[in-house]
Every structure is written in C-alpha cells, then in structure tokens.
Amino acid sequence: MRLPDDRVDCRVMSQRRIRYRVKAPRARSRRNSDSWATAWRTPLLHVRARHRVLTLLGALVAVVAVSLWLQRAEQKADALLPMMQALPYEQAAQLPPREEAVVMEDVRLPKPFSVKRGQAPSTLLMELGVESDSVHEAASALADHVDLRRLRAGETGLAYYDESGSLSHLRLRLAKKGWVDLERTRPAAYEAGLGRSSWKSSWREFVRSTQIRQIEGTLDSFLVTDVEEAGAPSELAWSMSEVLQWDLDFNRDLREGDTFRVLFEEESLDGHFHRVSRVLALSYVNRGVAHEAFLWGGTEDGPDAPGYYDRDARPLQKMFLRSPLPFTRVTSRFSHRRLHPVLKTYRPHYGVDFGAPRGTHVRATAGGTVTFAGRNGGAGNMVRVRHANGYETSYLHLSGYGPGVKRGKRVRQGDLLGYVGSTGLSTGPHLDYRVKKNGKYVDPMKLENRPAEPVPQSRLAAFQSRRDLLLRALAGDLDPRMLSADPAAEMNLAKAAENDLAKSAPPIASDAAR
C-alpha cells in the first residue's frame, strides 16, 4: 500500500543506507505499523535485486570472453599444427622407416658445497656421502695436503657422484693456494663385494701469473669509478693512495679534471684476476702539479730497500703521513675556539676530525713507541704514540685497538693502531687526530715533513736507467711486457734503448770540419 506523501520523510542517515521514516500519529494502528515496516524494507529489496542482475550479467560476460579466447587459441593451434589424417595400412607401409631417437647419456653434474662455520671435516664428508666406517680414512687422506684445523668457513668445492649415487670424487678449493682432490678407489675385491673402497688425495697449486699493465684516465667523479672506467680493478685506487700518501691527501686534495697514469703489476690465479701486486710507476697531475713515483729497490734485507722515489731520486716517504685514514672526509679542523657539539660551549679544538664509518682502520702516521692505550675520559678509547724530534700523536674516540697495541709497543709508519668509533664525548663515529711538538699542539694539516735519505750516489745511475724505462712504459712508448723483474735484463734493455737513440741522433761536426 502506498503511503501518502505528507506522511513520509526521506532522510539520508549514512553513505550506504537510506531509511524512510514515517510520520505516524501517536496512537498507531496495526495497519500503520505494517505499512511502516514495508516502506523501510522496500529500498533494500530493490538494492538486492539490482545486485543479482549485475552478478548474472558479469558471469555471462566472463563466459563469453573465455569462449572467444578458447576459440581463438584453437584457430592458432590449427594454423601451426595441421590436423593429421589417418592413412590406410597399404599407404602407411610404404612410408620410410622412422629414424631412431637419439638418447643422451645420463650426465651427472657436480654438486657445489661450502664449508660452514664451525663445521668439522668429518661432518662435512658424511654430509657429502662418505660412509661412516670410512670417513676417518677419507679425512686422513685429505689431511695429507690440507691442515684440517685451519679449514676456514666459506671454502668451496665440488662433489661428484657415480651412477649409483655414491660419492666418487671430491674437489676442494683453498683460497689463494690451490685445489685438493679426494678420490675414491675401488679395488677388485670391492667390485666383487668382498672388501671396501679406499680414498686417496692429490694437490694442484694455482698457476700464478703476473702481467704488467698501463692505464690512464681523468678524474670526473670518484677515483675508484674513474679507475674502473680506465680498465683497471677498483683496488688500484687504494694502491695509488698508498703510493702518494705523503704528498697527496686523497680525502681533500683531489679535484675534478685531475689526470693520472699508472703502471702496475696484476696477479692472476689460473687465469683469473687475483689482486694488484704492486704499482711500478705513477704520475698524478693535481691542479697542474705533477706528482710522480717510481718503485726502486731490491729485497727488504738488501742494500736498497724497496720504496718509491721521485724523478730526482728523492724518496717520497716522509716522517708523517698526510692522513691517518684512507678515503675519508674532514668534519672539523684545528681551531682555538670552536663550539663543542656535546657540551655546547666554546673551547679550543686541538685536532682534526675525520668522519668515517665505524671500524675503519686507523694507521700510525709515523713510527714510534706507544705511550698510552686505554680509556681517557671525554677522549674515549685513545692511543698516544711518541715519535722522534719531540713529536707526539694522539688518536681519540676509537672503538677498539689493533692487535698487540699496548704501552711500550714499537710501531712503524702505517701500522694498525685501532678502529674508528664514537666513544667518549662524541656525536657520531669519527677520529680526532692530534699532534704535539715539544709539548705544544700544532695543526696536523701544516706539519713540515722531512723526507728520508735519497738514493746513494753509487746506485744513482742504475736508478736513472730504471726510471727512464718506467717513464717510457708509463707514456705508452714502450710495451709494458718488455719490462722484467730481472735488473740485469732491464739494464741490457736500457743500453739497447740508448744505442737506438744514439744511432737516430744526427752526427756532431768536428772542429776541423767547421
């Protein structure tokens, strides 16, 4: 029954439901009550019906779409694979015989494995398939070439299995050393089922080869990236920083547009790159100033210890390194009045702060004796080293100390003293590096470095011959492969080069001819 318009008030009570409230008199009759309930449910019935219709339409559309897709797929299949018609027996008998299918033999691929942390060798062998009654014999055979107590986690290898699925051959790769092969031997008694197999091992050392290479490039963004773009491994950038560590601070001095040329030895193991062995010659032009380095010297115990020298046979090594950290940034400089980041008061800052990640190695900038290693109030963990000529260096806010660093220990330039940290009054991981001279603090960035002794006069001619060869190879005028580690061979090559230059030079007229 339709209610009069003046008795129905339509109001929106929410976003999802519309209720019709009836303006009924105070004394509602049963008829009015039924009409109110019917009017309240009528919109809901319309919504449900609409949902049912939409659901049926959606299902119909989905069925039609699937049918069309299946029909299209069948048409493509018919185009690609035409239907084969059955032939009568007489026609089928005249067809040529079908070729036999080629069956590939069962090829078993080796199973890679790696040594886990804390894993015993016997446990590793049993996991790979060695029987429990012969694991001791296999481990003993393996110990003929490997110190099982020093087997490190992460060592990798390959395990080979036979047709029955049992382990037949094991190959373990020892980093930087070589391969050890553990092979199962099966005597005739074992094949007959009367005995058991045994194990034997063999060793093959990596084939080491050294190649001399030359690269050149320009500093565009970051030295490591530019070295890689020049065709060398990234670790060469670190070697370059170590060679020029007394003259260039690779944290502050490098500028965009600098150029470099490097002659270095690259070591390979079994034809694969292993490491950069050493830098033979280096030229780095920083803001128009050329910094050159040439490796010269024999063995550590010989009369000429190996070291780097400039073009004039003067050593690059000086009393102090330019920085105790490689590849870092200076976050605070030497100052007599600086706002302390923790105490929020102005006070002198008698050092230079180098920002670096926690755990970065801290090197001794000069050789000397450790006079203090421990906790020192706001300085946190600190190491103090006494040097010659009244110098003293301090390294503050360390997270830990290097191996054996304690009071009284002698250290050499470049030795590990500790690790960057944030102990004491510190807001983040960094190194506070300080230098004293005769008891007074000085700016570490303004130290006057004293070089070591130059090449002696008796060896100067040999150094100059070596330098000239390295210069030619560095400039690309000499094939680096012609350089040899044998000094006699290099001297002969230098003499041959001098003879070639003498032949190509024009003759000098005598006084009589003039």
Phi, psi of 507 (to 5 degrees): -70, 150
User: Does residue 353 lie within any of the structural domains?
Assistant: yes
Task: Tell me how many domains the chain contains.
Answer: 4
Based on the domain organization, do 436 and 333 belong to the same domain? yes
Q: In this predicted model, what pLDDT tens digit does every residue of 59-107 receive, in sequence order?
A: 888 888 888 888 777 766 555 444 444 455 455 455 455 444 444 444 4
The residue-averaged pLDDT of 456-483 equals 88
Range of the domain at 16: 1-44
Based on the domain organization, do 181 and 136 belong to the same domain? yes
Q: How many CA atoms lie within 13 A of 207 on its CB side?
A: 3
pLDDT, position 169:
86
CATH value at residue 137: 3.10.450.350
- The pTM of this model reads 0.54
Q: Which residue has the higher pLDDT, 316 or 304?
A: 316
User: Does residue 63 lie within any of the structural domains?
Assistant: no
Structure-token pair, residue 133: 């009654």
Closest CA to 294 of 257, 244, 330, 336: 244
Q: In this predicted model, what pLDDT tens digit does every residue of 236-265 receive, in sequence order?
A: 998 998 898 888 888 778 899 999 999 999
70-to-61, 77, 279, 439 alpha-carbon distances in Å: 14, 11, 69, 92
Q: Which residue has the higher pLDDT, 502 or 290?
A: 290
Q: In this predicted model, what pLDDT tens digit does every residue of 317-327 receive, in sequence order?
A: 888 888 888 76
The residue-averaged pLDDT of 404-429 equals 91
Based on the domain organization, do 233 and 258 belong to the same domain? yes
End residue of a domain, out of 446, 476, 508: 446
Q: In this predicted model, what pLDDT tens digit does every residue of 211-222 receive, in sequence order?
A: 899 999 999 988
Structure-token pair, residue 295: 């490796």
